[in-house]
Chain A
Amino acid sequence: MSGVAREGATIGFTFDGTRYLARPGETLAAALLANGVRLVGRSFKYHRPRGILTAGVEEPNALVTVGRGGRTEPNTRATDLFVYEGLEARSQNRWPGLAFDLGAVFGLASKALPAGFYYKTFFGHARTWLKYEAVIRRAAGLGPAPTEADPDHFSQRALFADVAVIGGGRAGLLAAREALRAGKRVVLIEQDAVLGGGLLRDPREIDGQGSAGWIATVEAELRSGGARILTRTTATGHWDDNMLCLAQKLVEPGQVPGHGFAQRMWHLRAGEVVYATGLIERPIPFANNDRPGVMLSRAVRTYIRRFGVVPGRRVVVATTNDDAYETARALRDAGAEVVAVLDTRPAPAGADSGFAVLNDSVPQAAKGGRRGVKGLSAVIAGAEQHFAADLIAVSGGFSPAVHLHSQAGGALDWDEGARAYKAGAARQAARTVGSAGDPPASGAFRPVGNAKASFLDFQNDVTLADIDLAWREGYRSVEHVKRYTTLGMATDQGKTSNLPALEALAHAGGMTVPEAGITTFRPPYTPVTMGAMAGAAQGEHAVPTRRPALYAVHAAKDPIWLNAGYWKRPRAYPRGSETLAQAGLREARSVRQLVGLTDVSTLAKFEVNGPDAARFLERICATTVAKLAIGRGRYTIMLREDGLVFDDGTVWRLGENRYLLTSSTSGASRMATHISYVRNHLMPEAKVSVICVQEHYAAIAVAGPKSVAVMEQLTGEAPPRHMSASQPTIAGVPVHLLAASFSGERAFEVHFDARHAAAVWQAIDDAVAAAGGCAYGLEAMELLRIEKGHLVIGPDIDGRLSADDLGMGRMLNPAGGYIGHSTLHRPAFAEPGRKQLVGLESVNGDSIPEGAMLVPHLGARAEGHVTGAVRRVLGPGHIALAHLADGRARHGQEIYARSLTRGHTTRVRVVAPHFYDPAGERYRD
């Protein structure tokens, strides 16, 4: 046990392996200060020793890594982390240790490493930079990279409010109470663990009560009135239409949650947003102003009054404003010695404060090293003076936290008195209350310290000299300065550094601060974990999983599954030790020789009814539909408006004005949208109803020479001939029996109410098995359909080919009128060199690599590629479908299918894309 014994300190935690005690409700920063720990971290670029600068979320220095394993959270602000029993905090960006850090060598070289130095050196070929970069990457970064999966859960919830109040200080509590009393639904958001805001630092009497009592009274009224109070919750982003993202810590970073959830992201929509976001104090630039022991004035006060921790015994207060005098009083009340108050303003500022005030005083340089400051020199009315001190409390003025207001499109107005931007006109229904709308006055001053050691952005080590250099080098837009120097791009997002940097830029350019411009505020206000952003959409829930109605039936057979889009579909049903290829081939042969059944439920299906059904379908389908007799069906293709084929399927006339349209699984949602668009926008007057029945109907295909017998046995009637339909029952379930084939064998699709999926499958499966057949999966289907020359959406119909390219030009409805017809006239559709669908046969019997390029001779430019390749199901040899430039005119040519990535080249013969029963004789009974 190390550190300082304190009454009430009961919570054990470690910092860099040393064990300390904290009091309940203390931040890690408060607890470290209480235990005499001043050196907490190392800076990003120069590895300078750093302590604790602030007492809030704006902290740039005191970053630690907390937690273990998958709960490791690097770059956690010690000032925004409430100590819990067992907290393990580790300092970052140092090696071998925090006190002795070899990386500090970068600090010694800092004179040669000004802003943007890396743009000016490390030249050579990109491969050379790669070597330098490897070293730089290891030195950069802050905390260690987590290497394990997160064991905790994250949740997301939606929330609605009439009034959302952001900030639980005095102004926020008042605004929330007022809204509640006006009958509004109120949400109050506070990033701290408790309400009170500035009242926790500066207690005072309100409505005749002490601060604590008043806060408790208001909180009780809010809670009893139904207001939702979210503490430890940060409004990280204010988006369009008053939508806010709220990141809530359900436990502290690295802490093991009691109920599984570590953090929650709220999506809040508010009628009105009230910003009670308060102020952020600015540091003062002077040499070594980044040393441990230099602390913002209000932070000093917060540690004394809220946490009972006095961060120094001999203190110099340096200020540009009246507020820091309150810090001097707090220090004096706590028994510390206030050596002097250095006020940049001329007399009589501070004259009646009772302290030793030195006016016209600008801090010049802090003395002391990594163990903390030893004193401060200042230029006072032109003369240099030195003060011994172990703490320097600084206040360079206050900037309203306008981040959310600006994110939401609100204007920013320059306040000359406060030397800060405050909220101007809001673009959304939002207003600013409290100190954020009324920042206190601050004196203007010119920094006098060595510019190269006067830090603005503490974490990224950006100094006054860097701003000056950027200006001299022509980086004059504030955005250029920011990007060139990296100012404001560290994890604190420049909360303390932006305004001092704008002052420096204005000085460099001889401009006013408003003329210097301002950088954009973007979400998030404070960094938010990716776990919270993803919410529950993690692991297997990262995207939806769609299971067809027959999923459980397949699962019982323990198939090899295939992820097909969101769908889970059986790829093959291996027996014994069969491989995928072996099982697929066995299943395919069963279809060729006997019979098989397969689940085709994922097909897109549309019921189209009404007097205009045929007219409607002749817009969607590029083939004729109206000529179909009742009970007949046909293959059809669909064109996009640009005239290219984007889907195919079958269309069936089930009754006088009743049709069933099927299309591809992969294009299902696209087709549903397309059909709905045509119906609602292009044909609203049509008397037609279109219903997507993709999941309402389960569908089973039965294919093979024995399929007729199987269906006859199952239905008790003669099954329909090829491309005809009937409506028998199977296992007592009424079905649409559609005689269509994808495999090239005589086959049927059975479509029926998906609630009966298992029963119908069982009946068919039994009948198929009795006929010697088996179930087949997508692997067998692929073997069968390629051999037959049937196409799939994606590889074969890839959205780049016309009907003519696919050899389907003669299928197009000669009357036109279909979607896509009016763009088919464009000249490129008829030019030579277009890719056309062809078949390929392996010349020497080798397999043909799928996706391989087609070249007329080795070394030639590709003229096409293999879209799908298989071995023949029964006979020997390998075949493929392909896209080949002018392919139809090249039947008989021998070319090469060449895959350089797989080292596989084979000679192929260009043929027609039908390798099996081209005349369709197997469809005849």
Chain B
Amino acid sequence: MIEAIKQKEALIKSLSSQKDIFNKIRKYSALGLVVSLILAFIFMFVLRPLGTGLFILTLVIVVAVGVLSLLDYIWKCRIKGAEDSHRRLIYDFEHPDHPLVDEKVNIVRKALNSVKNFFSKPSNIIVFVFAIVLSIMVLFPLGKLFLNTFQVGTRDETRLINEEWGTSLSMGDWTLLNWPMLLFPKSKDYASWSLSFFWKPLGNSVAMSLLACTIAVVFGGAFAWLITRSNIPCKKFISTVFIFPYIMPSWSLAMFWENFFKNSASAQSPGVGMLQSMTRWMTASGVGICAPEWLIYGLIPTAICLGMHYAPFAYILIGGILRNMDANLEEAATILKASKFKILRRITLPIVAPAMISTILLVFSSSLSTFTVPDKLRFSSISITLRSLLSTAGFKRMGYVVAVILMIFSILILTLNNWFTKSRRNFTTVSGKSGQITKTDLKKAKWPIAVFAIILVIFTSIVPLLSFVLESLEENSGDLSTLTLKYWTSSQQFDSFIASKNISTQGVFHNSAIWGAFGRSIIVAVFVALIAGTCGILIGYAVSKNRRGKLANFVSSVAFLPYLIPALSFGAVYYSLIKIPAFSFLDISTTTKQASAVGICIIIGMVKFLPFASRTGTNAMLQVSGEIEEAAVITGCPWHKRMTRILFPIQKSSFISGYLLPFISCMREYTLFILVTSEVTLITNVLQYFTKNGLGQLANAINLLIVVFVIGANFLVNKLTGASIDKGIGG
């Protein structure tokens, strides 16, 4: 017996040391993976063969990490088995009269008991249900998208691959060649295409995203500091108005940018914009100030618009930390006679660093895959390539490859974000909230800074709204002498061709197409918000109760995945779903009823916007001490009462904020729903339809309606419940 125990101990020791080796190799491989990927990316622009080699190396490392993880898992199981057996031997040795044989006999009962025990906890049931539901609704589309990259689906896709690689594939065959076709084609012609059509746009997008991050962090961070840590006047106004650009659709900012800066001197932008129109009196020739081309279209304006759009995001994240940080740290430094700069450098910045990094990573990820802003401001980004590939015969599968690459970027970024934010969680848990926050006295600079800040927020938040108002009132864009109310009040049809399709083109107040679509958009947004928000709370609850559980982590991660899937690809997957006869009741082309389109939009929106709600729900639940619920459990309070009477009221404002985010996102969404709606289903459909058909005044009026409605809803909810979008984002 002793000999057997000793053997087991030796086995455990040997297995553990082997496992340590796997772990070490895995860690170095992961590090190598990141380095290799970065180097590969850099070398693709400088020395392509080396870049190609590094990419292959990256793929090899990915496979290696996977294998090592598997080995690690197997070894873990082996060690656990050896340990159990070791324990049993010791027990039998110590209790020779009561061996553990019974345990083996009752293994079935034991398994049943553990299953019963597992499902006795509501949080486990939630986790289990969501694991299945999300696997079907998220992993399935995702997997399908991924598998699509390994197949040639149409004749042209097959022809393209065969033409380049000399293969003899047939339609429907599985192949790896879609990837090298896009990334490292063999022939010179395709290599130059790959460089200009994939690598350069990817580089452009990276540059655009980095610039947008910088603008968002600098702009948002500075305002966060001014509002939370200084005595700047008009704080309420600045902080309220500052988040408008985040509430607005990003493309409406791009629309504003073009409206504002376009001018008669620009080759790309015909027409006169607000700036030129307002400054005619300033120039002797009466032409007005004409912004240079690079300020209207291209990298700079695209990055500025995205930066402006995401600056409130940075403001909320960094502001949240600055507001909650322990002021004693800074006070202690002040007492020790540290200079302001030193305090900023050694205390404030390190504390806000995780939030800044979070902002940078999330803004980077969102900007990288954004389509509407670069499209409007004519910047060759990777999302334009994606859209083009998806719409060109023979290139669709390569479009899927781009979509997967964008997702890989996002997943890497998310992993980095999770890694960085660990330190943030530690900080807030330890310190808690401080009642005393020392405000920096701006002294004489107080008012000039306030005026500058107000001008800035007015430009980014109020002027866009003003431009939509003006554009909806001007007969000729940019010409204030042609102001008219007819695009709001007239019952005349402004486009007889569109009207002949039974789509009203009357003034906004008389326009049945606008109001019908607006109503449907509200219905979709409300249902999406209710369902996604509630699911978010449930996921948050379940995850917070099973923080170390693998299944809970799985649910939490999968719930976030839709954030990483490009909207058009996501919509396309659900479009395929409604073509299955069982789901045809959701297909507007089958039922001819707008209700069908509304139904499928609710489903798609619910899944796509779940990440916002689940993150908010999880953050909110993690802030609630487990003891509160435990006390209720002891008193025999059932689960639904604990949720509705205790947990929800405690974190009411955060939860409601979790409902607000999907609501707002849904109200302004277009690309996600385009395949499952008609031209008049949702308000964004009507907006795009009118824009394409030259009804610019009506389109601007709709834009204004959307923005005002969303801001109004946020304001109303804030007043009624204390919840707001910033709580949703900040957690």
Whether both chains belong to one complex is answered with no
Give chain B's interface residues, CB within 8 Å of chain A: none
